[in-house]
Amino acid sequence: MSQSEGAIGTYEKWDFAEGTELEKREPRKAPKGALSPERAVALLYVLLALAFVLFTTLTIVSLQRDEQFSGKLKAIHGQLLNVSQEVENMRWKMTRCQAECGKELSDRLRVLEERGAPEPVLRQLAEVKQEQNRTLALLNAALEEARNLSEILCTRCPAGWQQFAKTCYFFSSAAMHWLAAKEHCTRFNAQLAVVNTEQENKFLANHIMENRVFWLGLTDMDKESNWQWVDGSSLALTFWNSGEPNDAGHQGEDCATILPNGYWNDIPCAMPRTWICERSC
């Protein structure tokens, strides 16, 4: 026999020149210390269950606005991110195993069939292959749950971006006019912030310091009083400040900003202001 190092543990290659005696031996046991598919599935389900419990706890705690919950919220969120990372790592390892281990067994069975191996050996390997197919079906189901969990947890916001729900936000420190800010967001595969819910608007306001105003992705420069978001959607939910939008001034006010109190105001698009980008995580 000869040994070779694979991506998933160490396995033995069959040397078919040694004769049919090797074909009659019992199937090899998994290498010591290797993670079997059944144990991998069980471990993944445990991680998924733990992540679900932590995510539910995070959701409940996040509804509380009192300062006394902020420390606990950060701790739970950190644990949740760690669990999500473990799920991602396990998903990657099992995907590699699914591809490599399955190919190894199929190649062995094909070579034995071509060489006319004894019927008991072929039957035994066929049974092993059927068992492997059942295990892979369980792996596929677990992997799908892992993918869904990763989408819910949203752990891929770039450095310097803030997470809310399944969206990442960037709050600039520099100031630009509206069109330049819009272009800046596109460089990061993002867009100026589009507000779809009251909770999202509150999230944005909570990240604005008292003396700053941020551009939103909202404008009526194409047609006066026809406010449109940069993603092409019409304005449905509004949080205009009292008396706004008023299109005041000689130049007109065609671009929207969000104030520290969460209310919106229209100002000239050429004025330099900080901005908020958003992108899917």
Contact call for residues 208 and 259 (beta carbons, < 8 A) = yes
Give the Cα separation of 188 and 171 in Å (integer). Answer: 13
pLDDT of residue 10: 40
Mean pLDDT in runs of 10 for the chain (281 residues)? 42 43 47 59 73 67 50 58 58 58 66 70 74 72 63 71 92 96 96 97 92 96 95 95 90 94 96 96 79
pLDDT of residue 276: 98
State the DSSP string of 79-124: HHHHHHHHHHHHHHHHHHHHHHHHHHHHHHHHHHHHHT--HHHHHH
End-to-end CA distance of the chain: 49
User: What phi and psi, each to the nearest 5 degrees, are found at residue 237?
Assistant: -100, 130
Q: Read off the amino acid at residue 170.
A: F
Q: Read off the amino acid at residue 196.
A: N
Both structure tokens of 242: 């009292």
CA 34 to chain centre: 28
Provide Rg for the chain, Cα atoms: 29
Give the Cα separation of 139 and 142 in Å (integer). Answer: 5
pTM for this structure?
Answer: 0.50
pLDDT of residue 117: 63
pLDDT of residue 125: 73
